[in-house]
Amino acid sequence: MKHHKKLLAVLITGALASSSVFATNGYAPHGIGMKSKGMGGVNIAYQADAVAVGGNPAGSAFLDDRLDIGVDLFRPQREASITGNSFTVDTPMGPFPASFDGNFDGNGTDLFLIPEFGYRRGLNDQIAFALSMFGNGGMNTDYKDGVPIFNVDQTFQSNRTGINLSQLFIVPSMSYKLNSNNSIGIGLNLVAQGFYARGLQNFEMYSLEPQNLTNNDTDWSYGMGLRIGWMGKVSDNVTLGATYQSPTWMSEFDDYAGLFAQEGDFDIPANFGAGITVQATPKLLITGDIVRIQYSDVDSIANPLSNLYKCGYDPSYCVGGDDGPGFGWEDMTVYKIGFEYQLDPKWVLRAGYNYGEAPIPDSETLFNILAPATVESHLTLGATWTLDNDMEITAAYMHAFENTIDGENSIPPGNPPAGFGGGEADISMYQDSLGIAVSWKL
């Protein structure tokens, strides 16, 4: 037990220090736990490792005691383009035509490590304790050559541009068996998130706190929320599950109070979902989830860029104000299906598919150059090899297919600094991840 505590401390420290990721369902992960990640992200009505308990705390009631440690190597590829942009610049020789048109590569940083940890221990025949730790996702872009529309100076030089948001969830939970077929669970989401932004100087004139808008290094925010769940075997071959995660109320990013709505507020939205698992044959298991993520309830995520138009006569609509502009994201529904096949006593094979319509409207692509959460379709594969000593080695692969959102009325017209020159911003991304986990039955 002392060894496990030391290992957990090292993992938490490493996770907080690691680079952020850009998750796949908006900025939520496509799955929690390596086995879940190989099955399209399903984990509400079926769980095979202790990390997945962070998605539905009722699931630990049906697990054996175990320890799971894993890491994902994540590679998102982000691009943006601006077309049809046109404005004039006043010079001593008269008005000079200019444009911010161009193609921009956001992959100055493109490889990220995502750690995970899970532990389950039964306290008696009815009650089990679990601890799940995982990267809940985030947003990252790194335009090494800059995005001029955000920060071009009087000499038309652009600075490095991007943002970095990382979130670590630590979820201690308890499950209780109501009877041999039904369990309920409750978990406490303990969250730390870090954020920095750079290269957003052109928004300073619209910000209530321009000194707390950009280029302030990493600021940290902390908070908590609750997750409750149920899992029940309704027949020998069918299991159902349901879960609800409350909003996670976070402390404010004080160093970015001039960027996020409500003076630096960046809470984590609520989500809820249901799942079903069918043991189709003695060797084949099929499971599916439907999850709803309520991005629209968090102003810094959901407020549209058009709120900025009202800044001139109502300061609450300026950047950082109570009604300040955000990313314009809408709520998102995610559909997941996974397959698990017991090839032989030592090998289990997995596959899955995950789909959710991107939460970004085509009118909101300009600000989302910083957070191009465009991917919708994900294909996953996975496998577990059980060794003679009951140690397991699990691998999972995910590919999120490239998707582009073409802007429509996405860039405010007019000459800078009052406007942004009109035209359209288009954003796209695809992703790959490859992970491995090692597990021990205790």
Q: What is the DSSP string of 45-113?
A: S---SSGGGGT-GGGGGGSPSEEEEEEEEEEEEEEEEEES--EEEEETTEEEEE---EEEE-BSS--EE
Cα gap 214→256, rounded to integer Å: 7
> DSSP assignment of 121-180, as one string?
EESSSSEEEEEEEEEEEEEEEEETT--HHHH--TT-----EEEEEEEEEEEEEEEEESSS
- Dihedral sign from CA coordinates of 175, 179, 180, 181: negative
pLDDT the model gives residue 97: 87
Q: Are 165 and 140 in contact (CB under 8 A)?
A: yes
**Amino acid code (one letter) for 304:** P
Q: Containing domain of residue 148, as a range?
A: 2-441
Q: What is the CATH number of the domain that holds 307?
A: 2.40.160.60
Cα gap 41→55, rounded to integer Å: 10
245: Cα within 13 Å, side-chain hemisphere = 30
Q: Are 303 and 261 in contact (CB under 8 A)?
A: yes
Q: What is the pTM of this model?
A: 0.94
pLDDT the model gives residue 98: 87
Residue pLDDT tens, the chain, 442 long: 444 444 555 555 555 545 455 568 999 999 999 999 999 999 999 999 999 999 999 999 999 999 999 999 999 999 999 999 998 887 677 677 889 999 999 999 889 999 999 999 999 999 999 999 998 878 899 999 999 999 987 677 899 999 999 999 999 999 999 999 999 999 999 999 999 999 999 999 999 999 999 999 999 999 999 999 999 999 999 999 999 999 999 999 999 999 999 999 999 999 999 999 999 999 999 999 999 999 999 999 999 999 999 998 999 999 999 999 999 999 999 999 999 999 999 999 999 999 999 999 999 999 999 999 999 999 999 999 999 888 999 999 999 999 999 999 999 998 887 789 999 999 999 999 999 999 999 9
| Token pair belonging to 131 | 């601890």
**Amino acid code (one letter) for 322:** D
Helix (H) or strand (E) holding 426: strand 424-441
Cα gap 227→229, rounded to integer Å: 7
Residue 270 DSSP one-character state: P
Cα gap 241→180, rounded to integer Å: 15
Cα gap 67→373, rounded to integer Å: 33
Report the number of distinct structural domains present in the chain.
Answer: 1
Q: Which of 48, 72, 71 is nearest to 59 (CA)?
A: 48
pLDDT the model gives residue 312: 87
